Amino acid sequence: MDEKACFPTAICGVSGRQVFDSRANPTVAAQVRLRCGATGEAMVPSGASTGAFEARELRDGGEPFGGKGVTRAVSHVKGALAQALTGLDADDQLAVDRAMLDADGTESKSRLGANAILALSLASAKAAAAARELPLYRWLGGAAACTLPLPMMNILNGGAHAGNNLDVQEFMIVPVGAKRFSQAMEMGVAVYHSLGRLLRERGLSTAVGDEGGFAPDLPGDEEALALLCQAIEAAGYRPGQDLSIALDAAASEWSQGDGYRLPKRGQPFTPGELAEYWCGLCGRWPIVSLEDPLGENDFAGFAALTARLGGRVQIVGDDLFVTNPARLRQGIEVGAANAVLVKPNQIGTLSETAETVSLARQNGYRAILSHRSGETEDTSIADLAVGLSAGQIKTGAPARSERVCKYNRLLAIEEELGRRATLGRLGR
């Protein structure tokens, strides 16, 4: 037997099962058990708006669950991946993740499934933290992990996340004037309720989209932005001072030939016209963050837009970078964007996620931990945001339990940290 297999933190048991996400689609849950008796469990989310360069989920195909079953991925958790991990020391996250990558053998993690690999990567880290009787954020970040992330709350949904006529996927509020995370939540919740009241008064739908934000039909983006500012004011706050606005266009889904066409409204744009459109909106409204304003291959366009707006607006690469250190390096070289959205299931392991955040910070890029539109009750990204000192988080509206559980976890972390807790800012 390998000597490491006798360590208290050696992995001695691995299990998995098929569970369901917030869109009633199957997803992977996995558990890791250590020789000392500590265990860790994780569930992985799934996105509706996915980049072409993301690590690949493994789905069953066929009839059950519309082809979205994950029984094959679960079988790999129990089979090839369990075999690769048994006896390894969970304290060594790099070794755990490398063993799974070697077992998979593909760049995209498509053979065994990024969903299977990530579930075990996170579960192993949780088990290692439990063995030390530490919360996950402290295990990951040590004593320096005391920055709570500034929340970016998606309170108005569109795009692939909603059945309305808005093409921009997320209209978010950012409590830039908050001093503590709990205060940021108080401000965001007040505006969320204020927006709901405004919609009801105008006879508009208060049904919510996948991420908990309201999803009414509106005449256009300008009207949506005006509505957000009105909701901020109605809650007793000042737009641009207490709360600002962030947008996620998810423009990769608009790509058509050499240009763009809005899928719901049919409006065409050349790349130059779309860049001008964003510059105009950012000039007229208190927008502080703009995510995926252009397509996932347009590094040059991102660089040009960052040169124009990056001094006053956070330009975020999501589909552009897909939490991949290699693609982030490519962006850094040409000055594309100044922030990276970090979704662990885009890359598939905790160690690669941490590498992406570290690379961003070393090069002056901001990092935003993010959920997916198909979420679970797993709160890992809350601990990751603190443990990796990301400074910002996206986890939807302050509604729907699969979103709120992340916020509630962060409130608990703030309480644990006490006076040491600080709140992240857009500038760090």
Catalytic residues: 211, 343
Is 372 marked as a binding-site residue? yes
Report yes or no: 87 and 1 within 8 Å, Cβ to Cβ.
Answer: yes
CA dihedral 120, 123, 129, 133 (to 10 degrees): -150
Tell whether 76 is in a known binding site: no
147 in Cβ contact with 205 (< 8 Å): no
Q: Work out the angle at residue 174's Cα, subtended by the Cα atoms of residues 394 and 282, and round it to the nearest 5 degrees.
A: 105
Q: Which long-range contacts (CB under 8 A, 24 or more apart) does 95-101 make?
A: 96/11, 96/120, 96/121, 96/124, 97/121, 97/349, 97/350, 97/351, 97/352, 98/351, 100/349, 101/349
Rounded Cα gap, residues 332 and 241, in angstroms: 30
Q: Is 126 annotated as a binding residue?
A: no
343 among annotated binding-site residues: yes
Torsion on CA atoms 51, 52, 55, 57, rounded to nearest 10: 90
Q: Is 291 annotated as a binding residue?
A: yes
The DSSP secondary-structure symbol of 46 reads B
Is 403 annotated as belonging to a binding site? no
**How many H-runs (helices) and E-runs (strands) does the chain carry?**
14, 16
Does the annotation flag 394 for ligand binding?
yes
DSSP string across 230-262: HHHHHTT--BTTTBEEEEE--GGGGEETTEEE-
Instruction: Read off the tokens for 397.
Output: 């509206």
383 is in an annotated binding site: no
Question: Does 373 show up as a binding residue in the annotation?
Answer: yes
The response to whether 57 counts as a known ligand-binding position is no
The number of residues making up the chain comes to 428
Left (φ > 0), alpha (ψ -120 to 50) or beta: where does 322 sit?
A: left
Element (H, E) at 33: strand 26-34
Burial of 3 (0-12, 13-18, 19+ CB in 10 A): exposed
Residues 144 and 420: their CA atoms lie apart, in Å, by: 10
Query: CA angle, 51 as apex, 388 and 205 as ends, to 5°?
Result: 90
Strands 259-261 and 268-269: antiparallel
From CA 277, how far away is CA 190, in angstroms rounded? Answer: 30
Contact 161, 250 (CB under 8 A): no
Indicate the annotated binding residues for substrate: 161, 170, 291, 318, 370-373, 394
Indicate the annotated binding residues: 161, 169-170, 248, 291, 318, 343, 370-373, 394
Indicate the annotated binding residues for Mg(2+): 248, 291, 318
Indicate the annotated binding residues for (2R)-2-phosphoglycerate: 169, 343, 372-373, 394
